Chains A and B, each alone.
Chain A
Amino acid sequence: MTHGYDVAHFLAGTMLVASFTLLYQDRIFAVLNTFAAQAMALALAVAWQGYVQHHPDLFITAAMAFGLKGIVIPLALNRMVVRLGIHRDVDQAVNVAMAMFLGLGLTSLALLLVLKVTPGAASFTREGLALALAIILLGFLMMITRRNAVTQIVGFMSIENGLILAATGARGMPLVVEVSVAFSVLIALFVFAVFVFRIRERFDSVDIESLDRVRGERR
């Protein structure tokens, strides 16, 4: 059994590395590619869990992760970036070094927190949990350190990767597949929304700052 966990950890670790890479990539195309890589890693991890836990339905999730997040959405975003002509933008709200430091802090916080959890409290070991938590926090961090909607979508999706990782890691958790489907729908909505705003030409760029142009009570 043990090497089963090793593989899981290896894949989860890869995802974490991907998250860090996402954090310091400032070219959008690179961000998209890295994300695709992370998604593939997730797909593998989920598939592996399905194999270990003998839950064939997890393969659906794996497939979706692979197909949708590994290929379709990155491509879609790619085209969007090209059409919006923002492929040269550097959209860091805080500089990379700062972001990396924050990322390290978050990861250590995640580890610290999970260390409190009594060993063997769950079949899904503390390391896995720590990694998932770290990935989620990093995704969140990415969302708030980027200005541009595309990278925000990516940030959100990496949060969601972390969630799926955690969910599939938790042995025999019901509804995982349904939830992953639900999340994919969410992401689709997200992307669609950005497209909609673009197409309506109500907001001249997809920079979220400009979404706030008509804000609250500025009448």
Chain B
Amino acid sequence: MMVERPLDILAVALAIYGGAALLSLILPRRLLGIVYPACILAAILACAADLSVLAGQADFKAQLPIGLPSVGLRFRLDGLAAFFGFIVNLGIAASSLYGIGIGKADLSKRIEPFYPAFCAAMNTVLLADDAFGFLFFWELMSLSSWALVVARHEEAECRKAGYVYLIMAAMGTAALLFAFGGMAGAAGGYGFDAIRAHKLTPLISALVLVAALFGTGSKAGIMPLHAWLPLAHPAAPSHVSALMSGVMTKVAVYAIIRIVFDLLADPPWWWSLPFIILGAATAVGGLLYAVQDRDLKRVLAYSTIENIGIIFAGLGLAIAFKATGIVAAAAVAMAAALLHSLNHSWFKSLLFLGAGAVLHATGRRDLDGLGGLIQRMPKTAFFWLIGALSISALPPLNGFVSEWLLFQAVLAGPGFPEPILRFLSPVLGAMLALAAGLAAACFVRAFGTVFLGRPRSKDAAEAHEVPFVQTLAIGLLAVLCILGGLFGGFSAYAIGPLLKTLAGTELTGLLNGPTKLSLIAFDPERSIYDAPTIALFVTLSSITTMLFVHLVSNRRTRRAPAWDCGFPDASPATQYTASSFSQPLRRVYKGVVLGAVESLDMPPPGDLRPGHFSVRFYDYAWRNLYAAPAEALLAVATRFNAFQFLTIRRYLVLMFCTLIALLIVTAVWM
């Protein structure tokens, strides 16, 4: 068992995670809080190890004599694993920091023991270097997160969420089993190196593609497999939701990258089609649901789906470019996918932790019951605003960096030899543009209804700021979002070696732009985006304007009741609610892609009862791909159930028929 140092550090980190999990099983309830500092420590160690590998780009292997006979349990830490390990552990650190702030009363044997286990599982998935180990830890990851989802088991919807989640996870694992089975072949070379060596027939490789897409897509929330995600992610405690949405989905992204770009070294160009099509559809579809939903955490979950769609689309472009030999563009697309995974993990964790803070402060998640929190919890509001702006892909924040790269990649589309791809890339561009617009709408709505305006409920009016560590956790993430936005060029440069291994080349244009920090997709003549300069510009000009205005004006400000076109002190109920905000969009998209039923009960003139307007949403995917099959299954089960109630004679008849059937078969056969 030979190991170099980074793996040692990771082993220590894993040991801490595992130790925390085991310890928390025996600790008394009020001491359970210690798992969070432990997790932070482990996460920091792991991050250090991953960064050192990212910088060095050497890969380290280890093998334990356990696991599958004759294969053993193999670990490998290479650039890809390190990059995603960095994402994972940073997310863990933030969520754990938030977790420190959890009150003693909220600690429970149903959460704290599983939290470190979940963290450990996510790390080990990235490290696994054989099919068995990979799926082993993959399933452990699902299992531990399931336990966290059903932590609040008294609530029926949490139970339902957990149920659907674990079933989908099991289906995904089955699909991945198939993928690896196909790749390993009947002889069963389950080590990743053996899989790399093993060449596939076109049919098998097509099956593998489908299986892998299903397996990873169902975990990441690709439409139409996504319907479990808006149930499960919000059901968990907020700091766990942050992990599931911000980090666990990235593990799925890692899996598909590992399979497509590493294990099946050079995929054919048409492999990119499902990625691009599904990715684009998911990006827009996810937002359409996000912009309609009335539950804050569900909105975030749907927006996770959207971002996963963007990442998958980026991967699709990367595959296409790589397969058609346009490596420079492949590198750009790959960089977009990778950086978006990184950025999304940051702002999505931020937003979920912020939502957790809101939930903790007001006890409610429904947008229509919140409002005006910017007064009661200014820090959270400020950080959440930054998160919302970054996820809406606005410069100079980090969300825009990956978005920009992706558009650059799309613009390289005309280079495709295949007409289909030439046609698809502008479609993808349009979809991404649409997604960008909708994202802005979605988060204006979310931030506006939750933090701005006047409180729509007593809970919201009596909200209070959350403990310092929690705001600290959210704030640090906000800082990351800003830095990530300003120094996108640097991060693109940092993942250069990784891009070389995955896409074939790094972003060559970097560093020879006007400033060292400008982000350059191909070459300076073609495209530059320089966040620091823009930021500088904007700040300078806003400050100068402010100074100028204050110079000229008489700086006097009076407070008065809102004018509101002459309607004095209208009640908060007159504000636009989240559902009324999304009504125009609903009008635009209803029916086609969005299941929404509006019902209006307007009393006739003279009738004094109040009118009622209500909207119901349903997810098409849920109806057709989840509910319908489940009903069919139960119907079949009911049919079969008759076999429980036959008479003994009839059972004998069954037996007799079996015997005769088999006898006839043999009679025909031999």
User: Which residue from B652, B660, B666 sits with its C-beta under 8 Å from A106?
Assistant: B660
Task: State the CA gap A137–B646 with chains docked (Å).
Answer: 22
User: Which residue from B652, B663, B664, B667 sits with its C-beta under 8 Å from A144?
Assistant: B652
Judged by a CB distance under 8 angstroms, whether A85 is at the interface is no
Are the C-beta atoms of A144 and B649 separated by less than 8 Å?
yes
Judged by a CB distance under 8 angstroms, whether B644 is at the interface is yes
User: Which residue from B644, B649, B660, B667 sits with its C-beta under 8 Å from A116?
Assistant: B667
Task: State the CA gap A203–B652 with chains docked (Å).
Answer: 20
Task: State the CA gap A112–B664 with chains docked (Å).
Answer: 9
| B-facing residues in A94-125 (Cβ within 8 Å) | 106, 109, 112-113, 116
Are the C-beta atoms of B644 and A217 separated by less than 8 Å?
yes
Q: A112-B667, A116-B670 are in contact. Are A211 and B648 (CB under 8 A)?
A: yes
Residue of B nearest to A147 (CB): B649
Chain A nearest Cβ from B294, distance in angstroms = 42
Are the C-beta atoms of B667 and A109 separated by less than 8 Å?
yes
Task: State the CA gap A93–B648 with chains docked (Å).
Answer: 13
Are the C-beta atoms of A209 and B670 separated by less than 8 Å?
no
Task: State the CA gap A185–B659 with chains docked (Å).
Answer: 25
Task: State the CA gap A140–B664 with chains docked (Å).
Answer: 16
Are the C-beta atoms of A209 and B660 separated by less than 8 Å?
no
Q: A113-B666, A140-B659 are in contact. Are A212 and B648 (CB under 8 A)?
A: yes
**B-side contacts of A113, CB under 8 Å:** 663, 666-667
The contact string, 1 if C-beta is below 8 Å from chain A, for chain B 336-348, is 0000000000000
Residue of B nearest to A133 (CB): B663
Judged by a CB distance under 8 angstroms, whether B567 is at the interface is no
Task: State the CA gap A135–B32 with chains docked (Å).
Answer: 73
Q: A116-B670, A140-B656, A144-B656 are in contact. Are A212 and B664 (CB under 8 A)?
A: no
Task: State the CA gap A116–B668 with chains docked (Å).
Answer: 10
**Secondary structure type dominating chain B contacts:** helix
Task: State the CA gap A143–B648 with chains docked (Å).
Answer: 11
Are the C-beta atoms of B645 and A215 separated by less than 8 Å?
yes
**A-side contacts of B649, CB under 8 Å:** 93, 143-144, 147, 152, 208-209
Judged by a CB distance under 8 angstroms, whether A141 is at the interface is yes
Judged by a CB distance under 8 angstroms, whether B206 is at the interface is no
Judged by a CB distance under 8 angstroms, whether B653 is at the interface is yes
Place the interface of chain B in its size category: 10 to 19
Residue of A nearest to B647 (CB): A212
Task: State the CA gap A6–B418 with chains docked (Å).
Answer: 82
**A-side contacts of B656, CB under 8 Å:** 140-141, 143-144
Judged by a CB distance under 8 angstroms, whether A200 is at the interface is no
Chain A nearest Cβ from B652, distance in angstroms = 5
Are the C-beta atoms of B644 and A209 separated by less than 8 Å?
no
Residue of A nearest to B653 (CB): A144
Judged by a CB distance under 8 angstroms, whether A202 is at the interface is no
| A-facing residues in B110-124 (Cβ within 8 Å) | none
Are the C-beta atoms of A109 and B648 separated by less than 8 Å?
no
Chain B nearest Cβ from A26, distance in angstroms = 16
**B-side contacts of A217, CB under 8 Å:** 644-645
Chain A nearest Cβ from B349, distance in angstroms = 49
Residue of A nearest to B654 (CB): A144
The contact string, 1 if C-beta is below 8 Å from chain A, for chain B 393-412, is 00000000000000000000
Are the C-beta atoms of B647 and A209 separated by less than 8 Å?
yes
Residue of B nearest to A115 (CB): B667
Residue of B nearest to A212 (CB): B647
The contact string, 1 if C-beta is below 8 Å from chain A, for chain B 409-428, is 00000000000000000000
**B-side contacts of A209, CB under 8 Å:** 647, 649
Are the C-beta atoms of A109 and B664 separated by less than 8 Å?
yes
The contact string, 1 if C-beta is below 8 Å from chain B, for chain A 183-219, is 0000000000000000000000000110110011110
**B-side contacts of A109, CB under 8 Å:** 660, 663-664, 667
Task: State the CA gap A136–B608 with chains docked (Å).
Answer: 85
Task: State the CA gap A140–B666 with chains docked (Å).
Answer: 19
Are the C-beta atoms of B660 and A216 separated by less than 8 Å?
no
**A-side contacts of B644, CB under 8 Å:** 215-217
**B-side contacts of A106, CB under 8 Å:** 660
The listed residue with most B CB atoms (<10 A of its CB), out of A144, A147, A215, A217, is A144
**B-side contacts of A152, CB under 8 Å:** 649
Q: A106-B660, A143-B652, A144-B656 are in contact. Are A208 and B667 (CB under 8 A)?
A: no
Task: State the CA gap A116–B670 with chains docked (Å).
Answer: 8
Task: State the CA gap A21–B535 with chains docked (Å).
Answer: 103
Task: State the CA gap A141–B660 with chains docked (Å).
Answer: 11
Chain B nearest Cβ from A159, distance in angstroms = 11
| A-facing residues in B616-670 (Cβ within 8 Å) | 644-649, 652-653, 656, 659-660, 663-664, 666-667, 670
Complex A-B: 17 CB contacts under 8 Å: A109-B660, A109-B663, A113-B666, A116-B670, A137-B660, A140-B652, A141-B656, A143-B649, A143-B656, A152-B649, A208-B647, A211-B648, A212-B648, A215-B645, A215-B647, A216-B644, A216-B645
Interface residues of A (CB under 8 A from B): 93, 106, 109, 112-113, 116, 137, 140-141, 143-144, 147, 152, 208-209, 211-212, 215-218
Given A93-B649, A147-B649, A208-B647, 4 additional A-B pairs, CB 8 A: A109-B660, A113-B663, A144-B649, A215-B645
